[in-house]
A and B are shown apart, each in its own frame.
Chain A
Amino acid sequence: MRRIALIALAVLACRGNTSIHDPGPLDRFFYPTGLAVLAVPVASGGTTTYHQRLLVASSNADLTYDSETGGSVIAVNPEAAPVSVTGAMNVKSFAGELGLVDPDACPALAAGSPAAAFVPIRGQDVVYRLDVGADGAPSCHAGGCTIPVGASVRGDPWSTGVACDTASSPGGASLARAYVGYLRETNGDAWLTQIDLKKQPTDDGYVQHGTFGYGQIRAMAYDASRRRLYLARTVVGTGTSLGYVDLANDCRIDATYAAGGCPNGSTPTRTNASLAVAGEVPYGVELRSIALAHETDPASPVRRAYVTGRIYDPIASAQAGVRVGDFDGLLFVVDLSENEAGVLQFDVVNEIPIGYGAADVRVLPQRFDPVTGAPRADVVAALAADDGVVWIYDDETGATIAIGRDPLTGAPLVGHMPQGLAVDPHALPGTSTARLYVGSFQEHFVTAIDVPLDDPATFDPNTGMHRITGGVLP
């Protein structure tokens, strides 16, 4: 114990340049946890090209800086040389993921509305609602910078999700909402908080909280065509399933369906270890993230999705009440549909081992056949955080690329403890190259990965990756 104390003192002594009362830096990332990409449309000559701003939430996880101001949300222009900061602000420490509602992809937002960023703060159980300027600069929302979301039954908000209806959504565009999931819940309930961006903070229903099954909601994906928000939840006890809540008809998430709340459900689960059930999530796999495929036919009853999961021991977990074991990670390619009884089905089309710590999954921008213009199958990025590997999967060929470790040093190419995965929704200007970002929590940088959409197999880690540690202040 004495030795540990000495080491701790030594470590603190080495940090002589900072004080725990200093705000976190605004020109560099520090324990980044959340990433998002803001598309910046630039109209020229009748065409619009999309540039980008990278938003990074830093957590100040070791409290090097002040607890109240040690975190940050920094927007950088990754296309500038050197990378420049286009806006930044301090936030409380222990940030989680960063959710972004981009007006460009969210027509339900009032005309002229700025983009909105959401940053959950663990410990203090608040969520920042930030306005994001056209150049990416964050600032407090006029209606209040933080939203208290904690309660005795839930805490440590972490994950974020967004539900935006598109022009093709049934019944016309209407939804613009942000969602937050939690790492701490009593009774094992899966708490979800909804922030309605079409309401004012003083309106009834601006913030609603509801429970949807059990576990922690670690990821969300919204299907605008069905007005359905899918929920990837951690395991509590025996079962694992993909949950969902249907958001149509202005229903509330804080009431049961019988009392006027939103209808919800999940894939079926086993009642017996040996009784396989059609449409279930593979037995012994805890879901960690989900991303929906680009939609090519809104009327189709089947929606492709990409889901990451971790293999665990369901028998031991049933006895312990929590997940036991974390043996491997998988990327699932699944078709989601409903069976004759209206029950959600999780039909596995392909599964790819990705390694320890299966985490975020994202779909890269849609690609099209250069000759026919027909949409091609997706290119997907998935993160195995504990192994430090980013996988690129081509759903057209089934081929994969592992962006893993440096063959000489053995270090992960994307840094240690990768955390956060974000995709520029548009290909880089004038190219068919997708830009993907992954943060390194431990090494305080973000890796930009450029994936050639036409043929991802030609990706070259020597030329297709570079690191961003922050930016030059204006």
Chain B
Amino acid sequence: MTRVHRLLAAALALAVSGTACTKAASTGPGALFRQPSSVAAFRGKTLGNPSAIAPYLAVANQSRNDLTIVNGATDVAVPAPVVLRGLVLSVPNRPMLVAAASLGDGPAAGSVEVPADPSTALPDLLVAVSGGGSVLQLVETWKAANLVHSEPLTDPLAVDLGYDVLALAVVPSPAGTARLAAVLADHRVAVVTYARQRDGAGQTDGSIAPVLPVATSGVLPFQPEAVAAMPGDPALTSLFVATRDPIATDASGKPVYGVEELSLAGLVPVRALGARAPTRLVAAARLKERIFGDWGTGQPLPGSAASDDAAFVGRPEVPRVYAVLDESGCGLDKPIDCGVVALDPTVPSGTQAIPSDRTAGSAAPGDAYMPYRAPMRVPGRPVAIAVSGPPARPPPAVAGEPDFTTSPLSAYMRLYSGSVARATTAVAAVPCDDGIVYYLDLGRFETATGSLAVASKPVSAAMPAYTRPPTCTTSTAAQPRCARRRLWLRPAPDGAFIADAIGASDVVTMTPGWTPDEQWSLVYQGLVAPSGLYGRAGEAGQDAGGNTWVALQTSAGGDTFNQVVRLWDPALGVREGDLLVIKARAVGCTGTSPGTNTDTDSEFYVQVASLVPPDAARYPGGAVTVTRVATDEDPAWATCYGALQDATRNGTVLRGLVVAVRAGGYVLTGTSAGSGGVPVSLGYLGRPQPNVAFTLAYQDEDALAAACPFEQWGWAGPPTPAVLGCDATCRAGCERLAIVRKLRRYQGVSVDCNTNSTLTSSCTTVWPGNAFPLVPGPTALAFTFDLQRDPEDPVDPLDPTVGSTPFRDLRLTILSRSNVTVSGASGKSTSPFQASGMTTFDRSPWTPDAAAGYRFLVSYPADFVLDSSPSHSNGDPVVIR
């Protein structure tokens, strides 16, 4: 024995002795995942329990070419025969996908499994797919050796689908069989059926084999990204595929994006479910949805927001498809916000399949405008989705909480919203790239929250809260007028200014579900869009009439321009009378100091005289003509304006400008408050006027879009005549559309503020300005502001004629709280980013602890799997590694 061997032996002995010494506390050898890419839950036999059917997790380790087997009831890795490590099954060439399905049959021929009774379970189907592989590799779950059948040329249990498998989904199947749908890289979908093998007497050892031939679709006119099957009756199921490509054309000739339904018979497209945006992930469920809709009497239905089964009484079971919208086509400036959208798969093909929660003529103030149900928005970017229905065994009764062990709640599943155990009909989990697994209450079609939105105060601070607007802080000697006034709030036009910030909550109206966590900044001559129209590269020239134009762009030569800002787009909010702030250096003049510590480059102001349509050869985003500032012009600016004119004569284009765009008057912008909820930065929100009631309210965006020619044009090709003819009213409508899209409902409000007097009081306290018990309207923000002069300076000697004059950058800031604390789980001491795979697992039949309930399992590249369940008040996150 060499020294190295001796050292190894010593280490081995030490490890063995250590294992023995800590056996009582040991949780096994550790899963030791290596770059897990996918996870599936299956039932079968393993070396961990060779004689009985038990639940397990199979986790694909890309980097180690194997599957790790974990006990599904305990989350502990099954020990290998050499107990220094966990049990793994070798799968060649980087296993990327694993999928498992129950065959639904019982031990006796013709019998069916009873989900709540483990003794009736037979081994499940388990397959793996290698990276870039086309073969469904069958794992023997019916034998403890768990052989993997990988070679289709020599092994009939391995099925070659002919092209790379990109995604898998379980398809409902008659008892004794299981079906898997596979998305293939060549624009096809295949369905493979597996059957339990029984002898002539109906006896089985649990073995499973594929039933050939494989059903394969033709080449689809779009690339499927993900697939899901409608659960339930195998005779009524079909496939739903997410795709980023158009799936149909609507009546106006525009492409329809969404989810395509494929029939299992022939695997042909049968229905295009319009989702207003492309999709990239999909799931499906049959469930009851809560009472909603027709408030024809002006009063909501009592059960609409109940936390128990009353919310679902009388509601039918409906099929629903849930799709994660692709960010290329969703967002604040798109026809729909991003998130998870619910689709009704019974609508006519090619039409919008998003249910509408209103009926014609509805008097519901909140729902009278949205032409579709809002997508369930989650923080970050979703990377997977899975849906679970109620567990086979209900959770045990908890004192003081609804009893799920007895009817009618036994048919529901428990979902905690903070300390409130709510009953619902289906739950989805969505791991996002911010490292958190978020839950969706599908029965209430809303993002699950950590407390009851609307009625609860998730933090102790008063909400909404307001910051006192900063008065001028520069030397009062230098700017006495500035120091003696501020922007402040009135309860109504010409009303008395409120006394202090505490009273602000009484004069600012916000609406639950419509007002996000946001910092609203009202600024006199502020930046029109702080993140987009500041420090931008610009160019200037003169038109044939000698007018100086400025475009925000850089020339790349010829007709090619980079960093093009579409100044002519009304959605951007630039208007005549706005101010351009240009750094003086490129113009060769002196200018004035910007007055900040961080920017020492002097600058000058010019004023927008007109907006200029795009010219592909000169300014493809449009331009503005500029003139001298009409009021309060610094003499240095006039000199710079002259220099700018001189520099652009005779067709010269002056490059290298650095430009910011400020409003000519008051401007409202919104940025993320960074305090919780679903963060969003709304950006430009319009031009409030002082002493005028200002309301940000949702309108029918589809009607506005239909009237805006910019929508039809889409900046593709030269401007259309309708766009060129878009007058001031037309442009105002387009600008309104851009703002309205930012003000869409983002969260369902299923809290009963309306019929419960206690909650009504609570809601009113949290959301002042709203008229509970009526469901409030779609107002995001309403207030009246004005310039307030210092009461000690009633007569301004420097401004005797017009009363008070505002000053640039005078600011009023309003902080709003949505009261939405999104419910989710994440692993401790882990790096939970870019989840790689996901599955659901009903653990309730397999452990004495029925509270274990339904689980969501997510694999992460950082070598762990997160197991969690919103059926627990804390999500019960367990990190397996």
Contacts and interface: CB of A to CB of B under 8 A. Distances in A.
Contacts of B559: 170
B331 A274 contact: no
Nearest to B559: A170
A105 interface: no
A399 B92 contact: no
Interface stretch (A38-46, A118-126, A338-346): A338-346
Given A225-B560, A353-B62, A402-B93, A313 B833 contact: yes
Interface residues of A, number: 65
Which of B132, B536, B672, B678 is the most central at the interface, judged by chain A CB atoms within 10 Å of its CB? B132
Given A258-B586, A342-B563, A248 B333 contact: no
Given A263-B537, A353-B96, A404-B94, A248 B555 contact: yes
A46 B809 CA distance: 71
Interface string B578-593: 0000010110000000
Nearest to A228: B562
Contacts of A283: 380-381, 433-434, 833
Contacts of A225: 560
Most buried by A among B552, B558, B681: B558
Interface in A295-348: 311-316, 324-325, 327-328, 330, 335, 338, 340-343, 347
A141 interface: no
Contacts, number: 202
Interface string A174-213: 1000000000000000000000000000000000000000
A112 B504 CA distance: 76
A260 interface: yes
B562 to A, nearest CB: 5
A327 B327 contact: no
Given A274-B434, A399-B186, A258 B833 contact: no
Interface in A333-371: 335, 338, 340-343, 347, 349, 353, 355-356
Instruction: Name, among A275, A314, A315, A349, the residue most crowded by chain B CB atoms within 10 Å (CB to CB).
Output: A275
Given A282-B834, A311-B834, A402 B131 contact: yes
Nearest to A262: B554
Interface stretch (B99-107, B253-261, B566-574, B694-702): B566-574
Contact of B681 (A275, A282, A328): A275
Interface size class of B (residues with CB under 8 A): 35 or more
Nearest to B162: A457
B166 interface: yes
Contacts of B381: 276, 282-283
A248 B436 CA distance: 43
Contact of B557 (A248, A324, A353): A248
A103 interface: no
B435 interface: yes
Given A340-B572, A349-B244, A311 B554 contact: no
A271 interface: yes
B834 to A, nearest CB: 5
A227 B862 CA distance: 39
B327 A284 contact: no
B831 A246 contact: no
B12 to A, nearest CB: 21
Interface string A391-403: 1001001111110
A76 to B, nearest CB: 31
A110 interface: no
Given A259-B585, A272-B674, A343-B532, A355 B94 contact: yes
Interface in B704-725: 715
A246 B562 contact: yes
A474 interface: no
A172 B131 contact: no
Most buried by B among A171, A311, A391: A311
B572 A227 contact: no
A402 B164 CA distance: 12
A134 interface: no
Interface in B322-343: 327-328, 331-333, 338
A340 B432 CA distance: 27
B360 interface: no
A271 B166 CA distance: 33
Interface string B651-676: 00001101000000000000010100
Contacts of B532: 341-343
A457 B131 CA distance: 13
A294 interface: no
Contacts of A314: 833
A268 B681 CA distance: 13
A327 B536 CA distance: 37
Nearest to B331: A278
A342 B560 contact: no
B556 A171 contact: yes
A249 B555 contact: yes
B37 to A, nearest CB: 6
A64 B655 CA distance: 54
B160 interface: no
Contact of A311 (B166, B557, B833): B833
A311 to B, nearest CB: 5
Contacts of A316: 831
B185 A398 contact: yes
Question: Which of A268, A276, A349, A355 has the most chain B CB atoms inside 10 A of its CB?
Answer: A276
A257 B535 CA distance: 10
B434 A258 contact: no
B681 to A, nearest CB: 7
A353 B681 CA distance: 31
Contacts of A153: none
A397 B833 contact: no
B836 A275 contact: no
Q: Which of B164, B187, B556, B679 has the most CB of A within 10 A?
A: B556
Contacts of A394: 185
Contacts of B674: 271-272, 275
Nearest to A386: B63
Interface string B853-867: 000000011110000
A376 interface: no
B679 A272 contact: yes
A401 B333 contact: no
A353 B36 CA distance: 11
B679 A274 contact: yes
A274 B185 contact: no
B163 interface: yes
B556 A328 contact: no
A402 B132 contact: yes
B750 interface: no
A269 to B, nearest CB: 11
Contacts of A343: 532, 563
A258 B672 contact: no
Given A263-B562, A275-B679, A275-B681, A356 B63 contact: yes
Q: By CB atoms of chain A within 10 A, which of B37, B537, B557, B860 has the most?
A: B557
B556 A398 contact: no
Given A271-B674, A274-B434, A311-B833, A340 B565 contact: yes
A315 B829 CA distance: 12
B836 A353 contact: yes
A263 B563 contact: yes
Given A338-B564, A347-B328, A258 B601 contact: yes
Q: Which 8 A-B pairs have the closest CB atoms?
A: A171-B557, A274-B379, A170-B558, A341-B532, A328-B861, A284-B833, A170-B557, A327-B861
26 contacts: A170-B556, A170-B558, A170-B559, A226-B556, A246-B554, A259-B585, A274-B678, A276-B327, A276-B380, A278-B331, A316-B831, A327-B831, A327-B833, A328-B35, A328-B861, A330-B834, A335-B328, A341-B531, A341-B565, A341-B572, A342-B532, A353-B62, A353-B96, A391-B132, A394-B185, A402-B132
Given A278-B331, A327-B833, A342-B621, 16 more contacts: A170-B558, A258-B586, A274-B436, A274-B679, A278-B332, A328-B62, A328-B834, A338-B562, A340-B571, A340-B572, A341-B531, A341-B565, A347-B328, A349-B244, A353-B131, A400-B164
